[in-house]
Amino acid sequence: MTKARKLADLIDSNGDVKSANLDNVPAVDLTNLSASNLTSGTIPDARVSASAVQQHATSFDDNKIQTNLALLGFKTASVGSLATYNLQDQSVDEFKDDSGINSSASTNANVTADEISGGTPPSVTHDADTTGTDGIHTWYRWTDTSSTGSYSQNTSQAVDFLVVAGGGPGGFAESGGGGGAGGLRTSYGSTSGGGASAESQLTLGANTSYTITVGAGGAAPTAWSQHHGSQGAASSISGSDITDITTVGGGVGNGYEYSTHTLDNGGSGGGGGDPSGSMSTGGTGTANQGYNGGNSGSDTGTDSTQAGGGGGGAGGIGGTGVTGSSGYGGTGGVGLNISITGSSVGYAGGGGGGHTGNGSTATHGGGKGGNGGGGFANGTDGTGGGGGAGYLSDGNAVGKGGDGVVILRRLTNSAVSNMTAVSNAVTAQSQPSSSDFIMLMENKSGTATINTDIKAFVSRDNGSTFTEGTLVDEGTYATNTKILAFHDLDISSQPSGTQMVYKIQTFNQASGSKETAVKAVSLGWK
Q: What is the DSSP string of 50-77?
A: HHHHHTTSPP---HHHHHHHHHHHHHHH
What tens digit of pLDDT does each residue of 303-312 get? 567 788 999 9
The Cβ of residue 38 has, within 10 Å, a number of other Cβ atoms equal to 11
Percent of the chain with pLDDT over 90: 57
Q: Using an 8 Å Cβ cutoff, are 255 and 247 in contact?
A: no
Q: How many CB atoms lie within 10 A of CB 495?
A: 10
Which is higher by pLDDT, 181 or 136? 181
Q: Is residue 434 within 8 Å of residue 186, measured between CB atoms? A: no
HSE at residue 275, side-chain half, CA atoms within 13 A, is 16
Three-state SS at 482: strand
> Mind giving me the DSSP string for 198-247?
PPPPEEEPTT--EEEE-PPPPPPP-SGGG-S--PPPPEEEE-TTS--EEE
Q: What is the pLDDT of residue 33?
A: 60
Q: Mention every residue, 6+ apart, whose C-beta is less than 8 A from residue 32.
A: none
Round to whole Å and give the CA distance between 330 and 361: 8
Higher pLDDT, 286 or 135: 286
Q: Which one has a higher pLDDT value, 25 or 317?
A: 317
Average pLDDT of the segment spanning 95-117: 88
Q: Which residue has the higher pLDDT, 524 or 7?
A: 524
In tens, the pLDDT along 395-445 reads: 568 899 999 999 999 988 888 999 999 999 999 999 999 999 999 999 999
For β-strands 454-459 and 499-506, DSSP reports them as antiparallel
**Pairwise CA distance, residues 183 & 188, whole Å:** 15
Question: Which pLDDT belongs to residue 186?
Answer: 98
Domains located in the chain, CATH noted: 67-119+415-525 (2.60.120.260), 123-412 (no CATH)
Pairing of strands 137-142, 130-133: antiparallel
Taking the C-alpha atoms of residue 486 and residue 400, their distance in angstroms, rounded to an integer, is 62
Q: Which helix (H) or strand (E) holds 5?
A: helix 2-9
The predicted model gives 26-35 an average pLDDT of 61
Q: Tell me the C-alpha distance between 459 and 107, whole Å.
A: 18
CA distance 374 to 40: 97
- Residue range 494-523: mean pLDDT, rounded: 94
Cβ neighbours of residue 482 under 8 Å, at least 6 residues apart? 440, 441, 442, 443, 450, 473, 474, 475, 476
Confidence of residue 357 (pLDDT cuts 50, 70, 90): confident
Look at residue 225 in the predicted model and tell me its pLDDT: 73
Task: DSSP letter for 195, please.
Answer: G
How far apart, in whole angstroms, are the C-alpha atoms of residue 289 and residue 295?
20
Predicted confidence at residue 161, as pLDDT, reads 98
Judge whether 253 and 178 are in contact, CB under 8 Å: yes
Rounded Cα distance between 177 and 317, Å, is 13
Rounded Cα–Cα distance for residues 93 and 504 (Å): 13
State pTM to two decimals.
0.71
- Indicate the DSSP class of residue 430: S
Do β-strands 434-445 and 137-142 pair in parallel, antiparallel, or remain unpaired? unpaired
Lowest mean pLDDT among 25-39, 447-461, 495-509: 25-39
CA distance 127 to 141: 9
Q: Number of C-alpha atoms within 13 angstroms, CB side, residue 83?
A: 12
The predicted structure's pLDDT at residue 315: 97
Is residue 249 within 8 Å of residue 166, measured between CB atoms?
A: yes
Cβ(369)–Cβ(388) below 8 Å: yes
Return the pLDDT at 258.
Answer: 47
Closest CA to 253 of 356, 121, 350, 336: 350
Q: Is the pLDDT of residue 169 over 80?
A: yes
* Among the ranges given (74-78, 137-141, 183-187), the one the predictor scored with the smallest mean pLDDT: 74-78
Average pLDDT taken over every residue of the chain: 86
Say which range, 190-194, 211-215, 322-326, 344-348, has the weakest mean pLDDT. Answer: 322-326
| 138 DSSP β-pair partners | 133, 410
CA angle centred on 161, ends 190 and 108, rounded to 5°: 95
Q: Residue 58, Cα to own-chain centre: how many angstroms?
A: 47
Confidence of residue 370 (pLDDT cuts 50, 70, 90): confident
Assess contact for 366 and 379: CB atoms under 8 A: yes
pLDDT at 345 over 50: yes
